[in-house]
Amino acid sequence: MAAWVWWLAGTLAEPPLRLLLRRRLARGKEHPDRLGERRGRATLARPPGRLLWLHAASVGETVSVLPLLEALCRVDPALHVLMTTGSLTSQRLLAQRLPGLGDQGLGGRVLHQFVPLDVPRWLHRFLRHWQPQAVALVESELWPNLILAVRKREVPLVLINARMSERSDRAWRRLPSLSGALLRRFTWITARSEEDASRLRALGAPEVDTPGDLKHAAPVLPVDEAELERVRYAVAGRPVLLAACTHEGEEAVVAQAHARLRSRHPGLLTIVAPRHPERGAGIAAALGGAPRRALEQLPAPAHEFWICDTLGELGLLYRLCGIAFLGNSLPQARAHGGGGGHNPFEPARLGCLVATGPLTSNFNAAFQALDGVEAVTVTAGADAIADWADAMLRDPLLRTQRAEAARSIATQASGLPDQLAGRLLALMDDRG
């Protein structure tokens, strides 16, 4: 009954969702030439042969499955993967990263489309065109009409790297018949942690295991070596602190920490890399007209801040800085609808030591693993960030020792993408 009600709600929502898409397009949140994809209208032809549909919501999930995409295409040279996402930033990231994956790039093997909204008619149109042999959803993409449409066609459906936060768990518990009906339709589920697995089982998932977290298995972030050298030359001789993946409200705290640090570390440069690059202009204005990377500006010696409001350059920044505060983790972020942290393994793989605010629920397992080797510091505000950065800037040997401990933890799950690729390909073999 709950599933039927959701189907009816999705059908009735079609007209207002069309208006929503137009508003999103006007705000620059949809691709102007590909809006039809959100209504299930394909803009690419289906390639011949076997096709796996893999769906990841946004940037974090997309980055986590890049090694899986590489493993899938390496193990089965004839396979094509339809990769859907829901955000422009994730589409841009795939356009940047796919040509560099594998021996010859995956641009011709992995096809990107924007995922249709959860309207039955749009999903039917999408599935009729693509006809995948199996479908894999990533993390927490539990869209009822999508799940029901896939299983109606008797296509195997799995959930990989499943995440069920405490907040989401409370919400789904209010709809026990719907959550159970949806989770029982997955052939199998792999959860990123035992905590997530326990919540999914309690909600009705029949088969859940925990082989590891794909975000712990990602390769190191890429970098343009020539550009890295150019930036290193521009900041040579200066102590540098990075504030990475910051959310609204956190830059002011970082600026306060910078003010406390600059007397102890003359020439200090604080680099701010906001999670949403479109906020760069406002952040730069708030920080006294700081130079912006999006405008191809480099910091001069008189500049105390540099705003790196570009996409796909964290690999450069982590290599450049050596210490980073990870955002979306302070109460100020939660006040603006954020909170939960960001993946600390990305900087750790590059020898960049991290601090974070107290809100890390999205990556608890990763932070706990790093805390076990004293490779992460939890900071509660500007004073604590400043004290941590001061200690790390004053003691390069301690910083290096902790960074190496962090690197060893962050690279332990390197075999997980091959393992998951084998399971997905076996699922398609069973389909025939």
Neighbours of 183 (CB within 10 A): 23
Dihedrals phi, psi of 279, to nearest 5 degrees:
-85, 0
Secondary structure class of 183 (helix, strand, coil): helix
User: Which two three-digit tokens encode residue 29?
Assistant: 């949140």
What is the DSSP track for 159-178? EEEE---HHHHHHHHTSHHH
What DSSP string describes 240-298? Answer: EEEEEEE-TTHHHHHHHHHHHHTTTSTT-EEEEEESSGGGHHHHHHHTTS--BGGGT--
Radius of gyration of the chain (CA): 22
Do residues 242 and 327 touch, judged by C-beta distance below 8 A?
A: no
CB 326 within 8 A of CB 354: yes
**Catalytic residue chosen out of the listed positions 30, 61, 313, 346:** 61
Beta bridge partners of 82: 53, 111
Angle formed by the axes of helices 59-75 and 416-431, nearest 10°: 70
The dihedrals phi and psi of 108, each to the nearest 5 degrees, come to: -90, -10
- Is 227 part of the annotated catalytic residue set? no
Main-chain dihedrals φ then ψ at residue 41, nearest 5 degrees:
-90, 115
Q: Which residues are catalytic?
A: 61
